[in-house]
Structures are given as structure tokens and as C-alpha cells.
């Protein structure tokens, strides 16, 4: 099989090693005469697999036993509702930094719960930039400060975190850049990440939450299935979990661990991003980056052709040359290359070469 250069935004590229291992182990798991997908979620094998995944994730994040890792369904979008229901109230609203489309969706869902305040926004820039830390204004009695660390659609990424008081926990939607670079994850009270970018295929969301926030979430007026303490008390097995997706996350986390340190991954991802940004910036105006230069993402490279009439031709030729998933999001347009951890550096080099060749042929 000739593997395509996969730049899909999510579901996204998976390492061939992970796919091969999954194929080999899918039919029979642990010499049990059946697939893991056929086993009861109460079986020792599944319980052990979930616990191993939890330990792997917390270990890679460098977090201690003050934190719990939960595995939940519904994607990051479900967490847009879970977080305010569990941790905010009208008297103590969640505060949100609006830096992109998904950050705004999280805020609007919290507004439905009557428990949200916009602490800063860059919507006036068309989401091309991230609000400056100095512009963040916390409401009195803020329950938390929610930030999206990487804006997948627009291609912007947070570089630093604000200093907030100890009683205002930071909450991070890290769906598209978790484990992609060195980061002080202990600065957060809660992190959530849907799997389909850097943690595996779609189907499960990792929620990493400090134990004091689990205690805060024990609200009697919330149905049990929508409470963090329920999932914590039942080791993410309160109801039937997405067993296959959690197992695939485990395989992906093992692959991530085997790549080396977060510094190694961060340096590799920076090189990958530079290959593409350099090709865009050196095009003499043929291409134009969408995100503000100081906020450019290392995970989602967004750009457009100055002559938009060439976009369809670009995408068609890219497809013929083995490149997948380069169309920009419908709300932004243009082009986008998502270069998560599993995207090889060679794929980025090949795309950079194609970008330069397209300029030579059409510039």
C-alpha cells in the first residue's frame, strides 16, 4: 500500500505502527480467544486496559495523583456543556477567552447554562489572532478561566498562559495540541481533549481533572451521567465506555512515549511547521498566511492563494500527487494542513516542495 500524505484535521493521521498493531491484536486480545471489542467492560482485561491508559496519559502529561484521567463519550463538544454544569453557576460564572470558532462554541454552550462571561475576545480580527494576556478581564467570583490552546480552524496557538489567582482554575481545551510540545500541564485544573487529533481515532474524550474540582462537581441537581464525580468514582466505567477507542488511545500513547521526550516531539513539530510556513512566506505573495504571524499554530497551518481562482486547481493537483485533507474549513476557506504528531516530517517536506512547484507553474 502506498500511504497518502494525510493532512486531515480530524479524524487525522495515525502512525502505521499503531494501525499495524491494532490490526494484529483486533481479532484476539491477550490470548483470550476473543477480541477486546467483544469483552464485557467489567472484565479484568478491560479494567486493566483502561487503568493502563490512564497511567500512560497522566505520566506523559507529567501529572501526579492530584489529578484523575476520565474517558468520556460525546467529543469535546460535550465538554462545552459538562464544564459549566459541573463547575459554574450564575453567582460564579465561567470566564472564557474567545480566540476562535470552537472557543466561541464553548462560551455559547456555557451561556445556555446561564454561567458564562467573555473575559477577552479576538473575534474582531476574524479569529486571526489570539487575545493578548493583558486584555483578559476576569469577572468577580469567576469559577474558572477557559482557554483553547490551539484553534484548529483558524490555525492559531497559545504560547503562554495568564497568571490567575489560585482559586480561579485554568481549564484548557487541548484537543488539537495535547502532547505536541513541552507544556506545564500542572498549571491547569482541567484539561480536555477529544482523541481524533493526537490521541487516536474519534470516539473518546480524555478529561484530566484535579481532584478538588471533582469534589466541586458533586451537584445533586445534575443527572449522574453528567457529573465528573460519577465517572471518577466508577473509573470511567459507570456506563459502557467506548472500549475500542480507549484501547486505540492506549496504543497511540505508547507510540507517543516511544518517540522520546516532549522536547523531541516539540522540536519535530516545529521543524514540520517551519517547512510549510517558509514555503508560504517565500512565495512572493502567491500564498498568504491566514493567522497572525505571532500566533501561528504548529499543528494547523492555514493559508490562501492570493488568486482564489486557482484554489480548485491546487486541490485537484494536490489530490493527484497524494496529498489528502488540504481544504480549509468552510467557515474560513482557503487551505489548511494539519500536521499532528503522527504526520511524518517527510510528508511536510513533500508538501512544501509541492507548494513551491505550484508557484513555479502558476505564478
Report the DSSP pairing between strands 156-157 and 150-151. antiparallel
| Strand spans (E) along 29-155 | 67-72, 94-98, 116-121, 144-148, 150-151
> Known binder of ligand: residue 119?
no
Q: What is the 8-class DSSP label of residue 40? A: -
Q: Which residue has the cell 497518502?
A: 4
Nearest to 280 by CA among 346, 323, 334, 345: 334
In degrees, to the nearest 5, what angle opens at C-alpha 54 toward C-alphas 84 and 198?
Answer: 75
> Known binder of ligand: residue 31?
no
Enumerate the H helices of 132-261 as residue ranges: 211-216, 228-233, 243-258
> Known binder of ligand: residue 239?
yes
Q: Which residue has the cell 468552510?
A: 330
> Known binder of ligand: residue 317?
no
Q: Which residue has the cell 477507542?
A: 245
For residue 190, the cross-strand partners are 171, 209
Nearest to 293 by CA among 315, 277, 304, 309: 277
Count how many residues are written for the chain: 363
> Known binder of ligand: residue 89?
no
> Known binder of ligand: residue 240?
yes
**Cα dihedral 346→271→99→281 (10° resolution):** -90
> Known binder of ligand: residue 236?
no
- Return binding residues: 42, 76-77, 102, 152, 173, 196, 239-240
- Return binding residues for pyridoxal 5'-phosphate: 76-77, 102, 152, 173, 196, 239-240
- Return binding residues for L-glutamate: 42
Amino acid at each position: 500500500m502506498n500511504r497518502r500524505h494525510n493532512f486531515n484535521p480530524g479524524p487525522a493521521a495515525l502512525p502505521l505502527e499503531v494501525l499495524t498493531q491494532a490490526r494484529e491484536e483486533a481479532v484476539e486480545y491477550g490470548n483470550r480467544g476473543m477480541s477486546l471489542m467483544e469483552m464485557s467492560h467489567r472484565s479484568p482485561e478491560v479494567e486493566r486496559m483502561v487503568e493502563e491508559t490512564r497511567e500512560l496519559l497522566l505520566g506523559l502529561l507529567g501529572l501526579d495523583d492530584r489529578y484523575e484521567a476520565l474517558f468520556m463519550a460525546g467529543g469535546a463538544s460535550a465538554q462545552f456543556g459538562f464544564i459549566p454544569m459541573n463547575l459554574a453557576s450564575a453567582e460564579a460564572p465561567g470566564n472564557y477567552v474567545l480566540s476562535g470558532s470552537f472557543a466561541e462554541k464553548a462560551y455559547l454552550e456555557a451561556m445556555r447554562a446561564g454561567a458564562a462571561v467573555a473575559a477577552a475576545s479576538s473575534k474582531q480580527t476574524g479569529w486571526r489572532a489570539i487575545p493578548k494576556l493583558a486584555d483578559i478581564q476576569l469577572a468577580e467570583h469567576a469559577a474558572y478561566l477557559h482557554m483553547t490552546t490551539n484553534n484548529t480552524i483558524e490555525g492559531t496557538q497559545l504560547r503562554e498562559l495568564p497568571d490567575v489567582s489560585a482559586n480561579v482554575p485554568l481549564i484548557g481545551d487541548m484537543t488539537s495540541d495535547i502532547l505536541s510540545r513541552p507544556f506545564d500541564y500542572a498549571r491547569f485544573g482541567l484539561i480536555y481533549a477529544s482523541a481524533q487529533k493526537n490521541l487516536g481515532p474519534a470516539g473518546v474524550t480524555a478529561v484530566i481533572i484535579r481532584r478538588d474540582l471533582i469534589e466541586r462537581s458533586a451537584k445533586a441537581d445534575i443527572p449522574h451521567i453528567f457529573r465528573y464525580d460519577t465517572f471518577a468514582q466508577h473509573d470511567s466505567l459507570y456506563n459502557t465506555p467506548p472500549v475500542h477507542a480507549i484501547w486505540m488511545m492506549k496504543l497511540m500513547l505508547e507510540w507517543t512515549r516511544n518517540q522520546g521526550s516532549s522536547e523531541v516531539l516539540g522540536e519535530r513539530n516545529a521543524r514540520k511547521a517551519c517547512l510549510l510556513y517558509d514555503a508560504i512566506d517565500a512565495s512572493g505573495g502567491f500564498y498568504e498566511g491566514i493567522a497572525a504571524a505571532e500566533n501561528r499554530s504548529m499543528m494547523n497551518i492555514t493559508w490562501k492563494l492570493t488568486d482564489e481562482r486557482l484554489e480548485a486547481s491546487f486541490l485537484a493537483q494536490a489530490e493527484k500527487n497524494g496529498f489528502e485533507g488540504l481544504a480549509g474549513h468552510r467557515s474560513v476557506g482557503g487551505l489548511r494542513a494539519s500536521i499532528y504528531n503522527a504526520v511524518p516530517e517527510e510528508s511536510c517536506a513533500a508538501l512544501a516542495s509541492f507548494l513551491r512547484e505550484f508557484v513555479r507553474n502558476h505564478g
